[in-house]
Amino acid sequence: MIIIMHPQATEDEINAVTDEVARIGFRPFMNPGVERKVIAVLGELDVRKADLVEHFQSMPGVARVELISDLWKLASRTYHPENTVVKVRDLEIGGKQVVVAAGPCSVESEAQTIEIAHQVKAAGARMLRGGAFKPRTSPYSFQGLGEEGLRILARAREETGLPVVTEVMDTHDVDLVCKYADVLQIGTRNMQNYPLLKKVGSTGYPVLLKRGLGSRLRDLLMSAEYIISEGNHQVILCERGIISFEDSTRHTTDINAIPVLKHWTHLPVMVDPSHSTGNWQYVGPVAKAAVAAGADGLLVEVHNDPQRALSDGPQSLKPDKFAHLMEELKRIANAVDREI
Amino acid sequence: MIIIMHPQATEDEINAVTDEVARIGFRPFMNPGVERKVIAVLGELDVRKADLVEHFQSMPGVARVELISDLWKLASRTYHPENTVVKVRDLEIGGKQVVVAAGPCSVESEAQTIEIAHQVKAAGARMLRGGAFKPRTSPYSFQGLGEEGLRILARAREETGLPVVTEVMDTHDVDLVCKYADVLQIGTRNMQNYPLLKKVGSTGYPVLLKRGLGSRLRDLLMSAEYIISEGNHQVILCERGIISFEDSTRHTTDINAIPVLKHWTHLPVMVDPSHSTGNWQYVGPVAKAAVAAGADGLLVEVHNDPQRALSDGPQSLKPDKFAHLMEELKRIANAVDREI
Amino acid sequence: MIIIMHPQATEDEINAVTDEVARIGFRPFMNPGVERKVIAVLGELDVRKADLVEHFQSMPGVARVELISDLWKLASRTYHPENTVVKVRDLEIGGKQVVVAAGPCSVESEAQTIEIAHQVKAAGARMLRGGAFKPRTSPYSFQGLGEEGLRILARAREETGLPVVTEVMDTHDVDLVCKYADVLQIGTRNMQNYPLLKKVGSTGYPVLLKRGLGSRLRDLLMSAEYIISEGNHQVILCERGIISFEDSTRHTTDINAIPVLKHWTHLPVMVDPSHSTGNWQYVGPVAKAAVAAGADGLLVEVHNDPQRALSDGPQSLKPDKFAHLMEELKRIANAVDREI
Amino acid sequence: MIIIMHPQATEDEINAVTDEVARIGFRPFMNPGVERKVIAVLGELDVRKADLVEHFQSMPGVARVELISDLWKLASRTYHPENTVVKVRDLEIGGKQVVVAAGPCSVESEAQTIEIAHQVKAAGARMLRGGAFKPRTSPYSFQGLGEEGLRILARAREETGLPVVTEVMDTHDVDLVCKYADVLQIGTRNMQNYPLLKKVGSTGYPVLLKRGLGSRLRDLLMSAEYIISEGNHQVILCERGIISFEDSTRHTTDINAIPVLKHWTHLPVMVDPSHSTGNWQYVGPVAKAAVAAGADGLLVEVHNDPQRALSDGPQSLKPDKFAHLMEELKRIANAVDREI
């Protein structure tokens, strides 16, 4: 940690800071002679540094406090250089294979879900996605089938062998969802729902953690840290679009996030081009971009009748379009020495 | 609802849309002769329109679907022109008085909390704010005292008579927090935690709903709608800063939100300048701006020793600075025909 | 154009709007029976509609005015379905080949520029990029060599045969830059410098128009429209990153922009991953993503000694890394049926 | 400047950095013993530091480079603690008086301009604003009357005594605008048009510099530095709204900008609530907020017939509403010990 004083900081203010550094058990170290006084804080800093930054930030005469190491430890590649591979039944996420999870936004009926599951499997998808508990902006929108939806997903898994990823929205439902799902999805609106993160961390189930719409990558990693610090290392990160001023697409796919996350963390990274564009016409190009940039997997919405879908119809691909996209994605995966 | 077709939409596509409008019980109505075909959807549309937008959006040949009425009903000023006044014990929020809630970010000890409560009351605050359950970005940061913190807040209320507003983060804790608090706060990270919104909606307690960092005002009103649609009309909205590219302050206070919300909804609006700036030096000017723009109240962090605060020290005012600010705010309140 | 009235709009207000529609030569057309009155404006609307939107927007009782056609005509794919191919000497931009323009951020010396030009050509670049007039945030930063820099670029073209793209910042310099350059670049800070757009539009030279950091795609197309409406159809659009709250990269590459622009306009689209990431480590993955998503070309900064570069060193690739990237890009290009 | 090395940086990389620090004439200074190596750069750093940051940023093993002093010198309050007061004829901007400049968006005719000028003067405005050269997003929108508009503004000044502020968009027009205007306005789209900044810097005329829609406050100050470094200290900064994801208003008024700029710089700060909201209904509350937060002045659009205005009608106040607002603003100004 480095403490940078204001140009007008007094001797007394500087002394108060160095005294405080010593009081809490560190050694202050001051640079000689530069325009502004800069105090380095020496010693074995643990992960409670975030508090110390605020602590010193509020002292008189302090202009700025800079951390010189990451705030996440368990998620950091610095301390864990090799890639984490998350195992979901026979699947490996974060290995050579680019894993595509596909399916309807919401589970609507058993017939529909099983039909779509067969279709996406035939096209090469390795996991089934579908929502039983649906977070909807409006209280008047379809809220999902709940446990009935979970049962349908489990039936579709039996039929197709595809493992299931589905969202859990409340600590109260975690045990229930664990009964049916293979991967617990934390949705964008709950990325910083800390009781929920701790709870899924305690299950040991693989977790797909979606980035918040307005969350920086460092905040995403801090949320991953909540899960891992409960003892659950099976975390998959998911870029699903961020908010911006651009209004031609629902959200802005942050393609930069892929190399940045790969640089910062050992966790696998997936991308959801359906939500990040909000428009099926743009799903294909963005899915291809994600694989080219190094994503370990994709979440793609597929619906056999998007016009009658109970949620997110406009961003869903029809099965034939999805099959065509999978062919294109295989070529991109090969071009980056991976496979689908 | 208005459905705008692509310039190249075929007759078949147009017919499919008008058939579908009729099928679901509305009357389609088409304008003659303009460049692009536009289909008006006539009939008594209920609040499930959000789904219909997506429904038609995904039909072939449709360029855009525009709603022509609000998606929120219970929160809308259109259907409820007079201001809602939320009652908290003897206080009225949304009336002539501008209500200032002040106190520490986190409850740290009984002595500290009671001392600060007396100080802010003496300066003119009408409500005590303080966190017992703390959502912290890092799992290694101080997470709050939990129920012990709630007990301390209740003790401070006994001592000072100030009603208490405090955050609840999980459905599991709602009943517990109701035992001690006067107003339930939904924090920025939980604005779209729908199970939690429904749960606090079912309590009948006044709710202070903070805007999500990356949430549009229309989304804030949809979240308020979740609470009200459970039968709880006691909702106070709170602007607390949004994310943007500007990095000189922690967040960007959206001062425009005050007149926009006053235009759109009958609910009272408060502003939290401590979180929206992240820097005590900027709290005063922004607090004054909020009152001048028509805010019904403020949340201000006050700490008697910000340098040793366990959270958010840099944005906390010392009691003497807070007392000085209250004097300034009274002058602003008078200048807009209100009082503090 | 559709005019949507407030729910509380009076008969008089509605009549005033329909009268005004008629007065300016259009036919008003009102839908029967919906909750809100909606007035369609019929007739041959020309491209001055932007003014009409504002005109009606300010009338009493009007809630919203919606255009139902694009504001750009000459740049729109609606009226010009086939792709525009921009010719730069023997090169075609917007055809089957993905064109990579590479070179130093700033022209620093003749020896350096010619050396880099040979290196990027050997690696497969088809165009040389380099700045002679440099827009720099600080007045104390290196501002470019000016005409001397242009002369050096022309020399490098003689030596290598690579056409030259370079920025022009002021109407006053356009004629000068035309003497030396093959493509005139309009930088991100000048995307809405309308006198400059008109001036380059009048030259007939190919123009590379970079998106403004805070500009929506519709604004980018309106700026292209300025150039085309002066008679110059040789416009190449360039996504180079937008501002957002994310701070791990200098800007956020809007990968969605590629399919959106391809949908909306016939103009070719290039991507600048060097500026959009600001970090050479992320240039490769984002460059690959851009080609996979359908970009017609790339702008890549290459410097033989990035540590001593006079500008933008951190985002420049060394020639050997660039050559390696070009090999990777060729594989991606093949995977989308293109070539480099 | 402080150079922070990667945790895995090698001895050789560290030595290369310290050698380079010495080579360019500074003294490297390294902290002993912390987790990451941190190298302080000692010596008299001049304002070309922005280049040095990039220089070191690109060296192998370097994680981050932090400046420890401002990049602006002439605009900084550190080196010029007292407020700058800009003189415009008899007016003082930055003194006790809050200066309101009002008038139409565009100059449309002599009769209209003079009538509005009389009206705003009667209501208490001290300066006339109006556009003769208009930057418009669409090439098909009204582009302003040009020199004829300037002549009309000068006539209105003769009639009313109000000094005139008007925009200049191109270096080519600066001399012409100087013949008629009292204050040269640099619009939001030209905040980083450096040739234009240098040119207005060379005139010695007061300059009203509007913040770019996507520009951070530090970039605004760097642009001010361009003007001041040409010898012109008469610079007024203007917050006029920034882009964000919020779409209920045209832009987001960054009210935080007022105290931040007052902290960082000695230059006066004005606010334009007409452009920052885009809606006349919100202009009043935001104008009051700006004065309460410490703004030195306001720019307000007033039009006697907003429905027929040739630009920006929706955000213009009618003269009677403006007069009413001025009465309200006087009360706010008094409440912060200023006057209008």
Q: What is the 3-state secondary structure (H, E, C) of C90-125?
A: CEEECCCECEEEEECCECCCHHHHHHHHHHHHHHCC
Percent of chain A with pLDDT over 90: 69
* Mutation site, A18, A307, A311, interface B, largest B CB count within 10 A: A307
Tens-place pLDDT, residues A70-123? 677 889 887 788 999 999 999 999 999 999 999 999 999 999 999 999 999 999
> What per-residue confidence (pLDDT) applies to A277?
96
Specify the number of domains making up chain B.
Answer: 2
> What per-residue confidence (pLDDT) applies to C68?
61
> What per-residue confidence (pLDDT) applies to C272?
98
Indicate whether B103 and B235 sit together in one domain.
Answer: yes
Indicate whether C30 and C113 sit together in one domain.
Answer: no
> What per-residue confidence (pLDDT) applies to A69?
61
Cα C172 to Cα A137, A290, D51, D65, distances in angstroms: 52, 43, 27, 37
Integer Cα distance of D24 and B77 in angstroms: 65
Give the three-state DSSP class for D54. Answer: helix
> What per-residue confidence (pLDDT) applies to B322?
98
> What per-residue confidence (pLDDT) applies to A130?
95
Chains that contact A by 3+ CB pairs under 8 Å? Answer: B, C, D
Task: Report CA torsion sign: C118, C122, C123, C127.
Answer: positive
Indicate whether D130 and D275 sit together in one domain.
Answer: yes
Q: And the tokens for A230?
A: 């409960």
Task: Report CA torsion sign: D208, D209, D213, D217.
Answer: negative
A21 pLDDT band, cuts 50/70/90, is confident
Residues of chain B contacting D256 with CB distance shorter than 8 Å: 246, 248-249, 252-253, 276-277, 282, 286
> What per-residue confidence (pLDDT) applies to D276?
97
Indicate whether D32 and D171 sit together in one domain.
Answer: no
Q: How many CB atoms lie within 10 A of CB C37?
A: 23
Tens-place pLDDT, residues A280-308? 999 999 999 999 999 999 999 999 887 76
Tens-place pLDDT, residues B163-196? 999 999 999 999 999 999 999 999 999 999 999 9
* Cα end-to-end distance, chain C, whole Å: 44
Per the CB < 8 Å rule, is B45 touching C32? no
Residues of chain D contacting C313 with CB distance shorter than 8 Å: 54-55, 57-58
Nearest to A47 by CA among A22, A74, A83, A78: A74
> What per-residue confidence (pLDDT) applies to C112?
94
D279 in any annotated domain: yes
> What per-residue confidence (pLDDT) applies to B286?
98
Integer Cα distance of D245 and C243 in angstroms: 11
What average pLDDT score do residues D258-279 get?
96
B74 in any annotated domain: no
Tens-place pLDDT, residues B265-316? 999 999 999 999 999 999 999 999 999 999 999 999 999 887 776 666 778 9
Residue C218 burial (CB < 10 Å; 0-12/13-18/19+)?
middle
Which residue from A minimizes the CA distance to B46? A140
Name the residue among A2, A45, A243 with its Cβ closest to that of D245: A243
Q: Give me the domain span that covers residue C60.
A: 2-66
Q: In which element (H, E) is residue D287 found?
A: helix D280-293
Cβ pairs bridging B and C (under 8 Å) = 60
Structural contact between residues C104 and C313, judged by C-beta atoms closer than 8 angstroms: no
Integer Cα distance of C281 and A256 in angstroms: 11
Q: How many CB atoms lie within 10 A of CB D214?
A: 24
Per-residue pLDDT at C100 exceeds 70: yes
D116 pLDDT band, cuts 50/70/90, is very high
- Measured at the alpha carbon of residue C93, what is the angle toward residues C92 and C96, in degrees to the nearest 5? 80
* Cα end-to-end distance, chain B, whole Å: 44
- Specify the CATH number for the domain of residue A43: 3.30.70.260
Q: In which element (H, E) is residue D103 found?
A: strand D99-103
| Segment among A265-269, B79-83, D56-60, D283-287 with least mean pLDDT | D56-60
Integer Cα distance of B306 and B325 in angstroms: 17
Indicate whether A36 and A112 sit together in one domain.
Answer: no
A72 in any annotated domain: no
Indicate whether D31 and D91 sit together in one domain.
Answer: no
Nearest to A116 by CA among A287, A315, A330, A305: A305
| Segment among C58-67, C90-99, D202-211, D330-339 with least mean pLDDT | C58-67
Q: What share of chain D is helix, strand, coil (3-state, %, to 5)?
A: 40, 20, 40
Q: And the tokens for A259?
A: 């190399």
Q: And the tokens for A225?
A: 């840290």
Per the CB < 8 Å rule, is A328 touching C336? yes
Ordered alpha helix ranges (H), chain B: 11-23, 49-57, 110-123, 147-160, 174-180, 194-203, 217-228, 257-264, 273-277, 280-293, 319-335
B277 in any annotated domain: yes
Nearest to D164 by CA among D142, D184, D138: D184
Percent of chain C with pLDDT over 70: 91
B124 in any annotated domain: yes
> What per-residue confidence (pLDDT) applies to A11?
82
Indicate whether C280 and C238 sit together in one domain.
Answer: yes
Integer Cα distance of D61 and B161 in angstroms: 59
Which regions of D153-205 does DSSP assign to beta strands (E)? 164-167, 183-186
Tens-place pLDDT, residues B103-131? 999 999 999 999 999 999 999 999 999 99
Indicate whether D133 and D275 sit together in one domain.
Answer: yes
Residues of chain D contacting A68 with CB distance shorter than 8 Å: 4, 34-36, 38
Tens-place pLDDT, residues B56-98? 777 777 877 776 666 778 898 877 889 999 999 999 999 999 9
What average pLDDT score do residues A28-49 get?
62
C43 pLDDT band, cuts 50/70/90, is low
Q: And the tokens for A23?
A: 């009081």
D175 in any annotated domain: yes
Nearest to D302 by CA among D329, D338, D273: D273
Q: How many CB atoms lie within 10 A of CB C265?
A: 26
Indicate whether D240 and D319 sit together in one domain.
Answer: yes
Residue-by-residue DSSP string for A76-133: BSTT--SPP-EEETTEEESSSBPEEEEE-SB---HHHHHHHHHHHHHHT--EEE-BSS
Looking at the complex, report in whole angstroms how far the Cα of residue C283 sits from the nearest Cα belonging to chain A: 9
- Is the pLDDT higher at C189 or at D315? C189
* Mutation site, D4, D5, D27, D31, interface A, largest A CB count within 10 A: D31
Per the CB < 8 Å rule, is C66 touching B2? yes
> What per-residue confidence (pLDDT) applies to B43?
61
Which residue from B minimizes the CA distance to C63? B68
Looking at the complex, report in whole angstroms how far the Cα of residue B223 sits from the nearest Cα belonging to chain A: 7
Task: Report CA torsion sign: A297, A316, A169, B141.
Answer: positive
What average pLDDT score do residues B310-336 get?
92
Name the residue among C33, C34, C40 with its Cβ closest to that of B38: C40
| Segment among A117-126, B168-177, C10-19, C140-149 with least mean pLDDT | C10-19
Tell me the β-bridge partners of D62.
Answer: D5
- pTM of the predicted protein model: 0.90
* Mutation site, A8, A21, A31, A249, interface D, largest D CB count within 10 A: A31
> Diameter of chain A by CA atoms?
76
- Measured at the alpha carbon of residue B92, what is the angle toward residues B88 and B98, in degrees to the nearest 5? 120
**Do you know the residue count of chain C?**
340
CA atoms within 13 A on the CB side of B80: 14
Per-residue pLDDT at A47 exceeds 90: no
What average pLDDT score do residues B21-34 get?
69
Which amino acid type is present at position A205?
Answer: Y
| Average model confidence (pLDDT) across chain B | 90
Per the CB < 8 Å rule, is D194 touching C139? yes
Residue C89 burial (CB < 10 Å; 0-12/13-18/19+)?
middle
Indicate whether B35 and B111 sit together in one domain.
Answer: no
Per-residue pLDDT at B32 exceeds 70: no
* Cα end-to-end distance, chain A, whole Å: 44
> What per-residue confidence (pLDDT) applies to D48?
55
- Specify the CATH number for the domain of residue D274: 3.20.20.70
Phi, psi (5° rounding) for residue B67? -80, 145
Residues of chain D contacting B240 with CB distance shorter than 8 Å: none
Q: In which element (H, E) is residue A334 found?
A: helix A319-335
Indicate whether A317 and A228 sit together in one domain.
Answer: yes
**Do you know the residue count of chain D?**
340
B162 pLDDT band, cuts 50/70/90, is very high
Q: And the tokens for B242?
A: 């949004």
Tell me the β-bridge partners of C106.
Answer: C131
> What per-residue confidence (pLDDT) applies to A253?
98
> What per-residue confidence (pLDDT) applies to A315?
87
Ordered alpha helix ranges (H), chain C: 11-23, 49-57, 110-123, 147-160, 174-180, 194-203, 217-228, 257-264, 273-277, 280-293, 319-335
> What per-residue confidence (pLDDT) applies to B70?
66
Nearest to C105 by CA among C327, C330, C283: C283
Integer Cα distance of C94 and D340 in angstroms: 58
C75 in any annotated domain: no
> What per-residue confidence (pLDDT) applies to D43?
60
What average pLDDT score do residues C189-206 get?
96
Per-residue pLDDT at B48 exceeds 70: no
Which amino acid type is present at position B19?
Answer: D
> What per-residue confidence (pLDDT) applies to B68?
61
Per the CB < 8 Å rule, is D38 touching A2? yes
Q: Which residue has the tokens 């170290």?
A: A29
Integer Cα distance of C126 and C100 in angstroms: 6
Per-residue pLDDT at B7 exceeds 60: yes
B75 in any annotated domain: no
| Average model confidence (pLDDT) across chain D | 90
Per the CB < 8 Å rule, is B289 touching D290? yes
| Segment among B15-19, B169-173, C295-299, C332-336 with least mean pLDDT | B15-19
Tens-place pLDDT, residues C162-185? 999 999 999 999 999 999 999 999
Residue-by-residue DSSP string for A59-71: STTEEEEE-SS-S
Name the residue among C214, C216, C281 with its Cβ closest to that of A248: C216
Tens-place pLDDT, residues D191-209? 999 999 999 999 999 999 9
Q: In which element (H, E) is residue D300 found?
A: strand D297-301
Per the CB < 8 Å rule, is A336 touching C331? yes
Indicate whether B52 and B103 sit together in one domain.
Answer: no
C interface with B, Cβ–Cβ < 8 A, is 2, 4, 7-8, 29, 31-36, 38, 40-42, 45, 63-64, 66, 68-69, 78, 214, 243-245, 247
